[in-house]
């Protein structure tokens, strides 16, 4: 750090000559339009203004140590650089962004290539937490995480953290609903995290993430009390386990884990987004439409993706609803697929737990065969299938101590496919996880997939008592759908009714909207609203 020439080269880099270089997953080393190099350029291009790291939290955890240890050296030797204030303190924001992407057990959301179970207990986070506390705003919530780690780095920030803990300082770290933009200027989509009680909903609409990215735009996952309910598979890899290809990425990481069908998002005609081409996906990002978490009773995240499939416009809205009529928050899902021509629409749900029942009569296959030949379908066994014969269907499953019911506004002729992972896996590299897939013959124009997911009831293996295993929702219907608005209505067993409406073209909070549904007038301000209807009206 005493050699000024080396410091300048480290900060500002050497001449760029890597335009054609790629990593081993096909991602570009030098980004399109990149004209700067060096440490400061890495900070500029690796982190969004909110501190999101484009490869996802697993690799952000890995990257934070070299970023921060060099930043600490610069803070000591070149104080005039004010490195922890650079880009509005983006390195400190990155620490908070990383911690916000953890579940109740401290495990990082397994977005993109990620090994599940990695958490803020990792060695890389020891320095991050201490520096975040000392150079940030002395957030005592970070002290509670440092105390959980039960160790500090041998730095002044580590010493300061230990001293303050010894003085009795510290409080629970504040995990909140948060929107984290992606891209150097925050212009390339992002992720939305909605939290209510024990529920965490994560919607992903980031840029691709280079070689470690997955073809999963507009996907979402759901946690309850630290457990995955609807999961993101993560990576097909067993890090540092020699039996599994030396601990490196398995070939199934490309043939399964990265494919669209491996995620909870729409697949068109059995093909992955962008035809599975990394370079194409890297150039184009989705658009955030709405993120709103000010009202804890109605939290909404919504995004659009118009480039993943040619001639297809995808628009998904997820709402986390907390209402005293339900024992747990509900997840409303409005997923519109606008087609330029007929196509098959499939929406998979990768659930944890044991399937209980379905209102759709299922026929169990006597012999197993893969669902397809490529794009991840070759790894799914087709276990059972059935066809919807009404306009409201339910799929019910159980995990840990809770029951879950997906209440679907269906079309007659929609199909339900039960599947399980493990086909064409000769070396047993994949977990044998279950999923179900909702299939629809998409028509030219708008095709709205609408549902409400309810967490309900309980079961005790000690008392062997089951409570409210069927849930409280009684019906779900698409009550209004045009190019400008989408609305879903649902009732419970107490004959109470709710209607959720979103404008699909105007996201301004200043706009007033008014529509009529079945002789009932709805008027509201802003892009969305939830109404509790008076059925006596």
User: Is 59 marked active-site?
Assistant: yes
- Beta-bridge partners for 189: 206
Place of tokens 């276990």: 383
Distance CA 130, CA 146 (A): 7
Q: State phi, psi for 160 to the nearest 5 degrees.
A: -60, -40
The active-site residue, picked from 199, 212, 227, 513, is 212
Q: Is the dihedral of CA 385, 386, 391, 394 positive or negative?
A: negative
Q: Is 212 a catalytic residue?
A: yes
- Sort 471 into a burial class: Cβ within 10 Å, 0-12 / 13-18 / 19+: buried
Long-range own/partner contacts, residues 79-86 (CB < 8 A, 24 or more apart): 84/131, 84/135, 86/40, 86/43
Residue with tokens 């107490």: 494
- The DSSP string of 440-453 is EEEPSEEEEEEEEE
> Nearest CA to 505 among 276, 232, 289?
289
CA distance linking residue 188 with residue 248, whole number of Å: 30
Residue with token string 């140590």: 65
What proportions of the chain, in percent to the nearest 5, are helix, strand and coil? 25, 35, 40
Q: Write b or e for each residue in 405-432: b if 16 or more Cβ atoms lie within 10 A of its Cβ, otherwise e.
A: bbbbbbbeebbbbbbbbbbebeeebbee
Sign of torsion, CA 248 252 254 258?
negative
Of 52, 53, 59, 179, catalytic: 59
Euclidean distance between CA atoms 243 and 223, whole angstroms: 31
Which amino acids are annotated catalytic?
59, 212
């Amino acid at each position: 750090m005493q050699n000024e020439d080396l410091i300048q080269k480290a900060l500002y880099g050497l001449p760029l000559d890597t335009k054609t270089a790629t990593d081993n997953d096909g991602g570009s080393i030098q980004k399109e339009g990149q004209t700067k190099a060096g440490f400061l350029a890495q900070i500029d291009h690796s982190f969004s203004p909110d501190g999101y790291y484009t490869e996802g939290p697993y690799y952000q955890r890995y990257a934070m140590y070299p970023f921060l240890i060099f930043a600490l050296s610069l803070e000591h030797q070149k104080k005039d650089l004010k490195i922890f204030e650079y880009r509005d303190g983006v390195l400190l924001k990155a620490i908070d962004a990383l911690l916000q992407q953890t579940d109740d057990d401290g495990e990082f959301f397994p977005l993109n290539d990620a090994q599940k179970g990695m958490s803020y207990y990792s060695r890389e986070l020891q320095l991050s937490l201490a520096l975040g506390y000392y150079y940030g705003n002395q957030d005592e919530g970070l002290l509670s995480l440092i105390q959980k780690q039960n160790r500090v780095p041998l730095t002044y920030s580590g010493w300061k953290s230990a001293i303050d803990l010894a003085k009795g300082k510290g409080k629970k770290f504040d995990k909140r609903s948060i929107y984290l933009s992606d891209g150097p200027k925050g212009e390339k989509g992002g992720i939305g995290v909605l939290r209510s009680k024990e529920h965490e909903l994560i919607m992903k609409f980031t840029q691709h993430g280079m070689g470690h990215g997955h073809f999963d735009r507009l996907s979402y996952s759901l946690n309850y009390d630290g457990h995955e309910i609807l999961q993101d598979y993560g990576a097909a890899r067993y890090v540092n386990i020699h039996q599994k290809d030396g601990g490196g990425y398995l070939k199934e990481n490309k043939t399964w884990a990265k494919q669209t069908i491996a995620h909870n998002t729409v697949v068109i005609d059995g093909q992955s987004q962008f035809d599975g081409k990394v370079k194409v996906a890297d150039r184009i990002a989705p658009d955030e439409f709405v993120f709103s978490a000010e009202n804890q009773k109605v939290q909404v995240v919504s995004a659009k993706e118009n480039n993943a499939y040619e001639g297809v416009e995808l628009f998904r809205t997820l709402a986390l609803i907390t209402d005293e009529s339900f024992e747990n928050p509900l997840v409303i899902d409005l997923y519109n697929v606008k087609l330029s021509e007929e196509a098959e629409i499939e929406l998979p749900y990768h659930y944890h737990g044991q399937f209980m029942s379905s209102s759709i009569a299922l026929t169990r296959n006597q012999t197993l065969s893969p669902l397809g030949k490529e794009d991840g379908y070759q790894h799914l066994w087709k276990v059972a299938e059935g066809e919807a014969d009404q306009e409201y269907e339910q799929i019910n499953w159980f995990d840990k101590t809770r029951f879950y019911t997906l209440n679907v506004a269906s079309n007659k002729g929609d199909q339900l496919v039960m599947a399980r992972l493990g086909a064409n896996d000769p070396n047993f590299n994949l977990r044998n996880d279950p999923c179900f897939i909702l299939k629809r013959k998409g028509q030219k124009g708008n095709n709205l997939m609408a549902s409400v997911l309810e967490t309900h009831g309980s079961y005790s293996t000690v008392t062997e008592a089951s409570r409210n295993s069927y849930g409280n929702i009684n019906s779900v219907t698409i009550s209004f759908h045009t190019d400008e608005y989408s609305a879903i209505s649902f009732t419970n067993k107490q004959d109470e009714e709710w209607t959720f409406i979103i404008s699909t073209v105007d996201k301004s909070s200043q706009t007033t909207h008014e529509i009529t549904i079945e002789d009932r007038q709805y008027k509201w301000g802003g892009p969305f609203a939830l109404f509790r209807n008076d059925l006596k009206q």
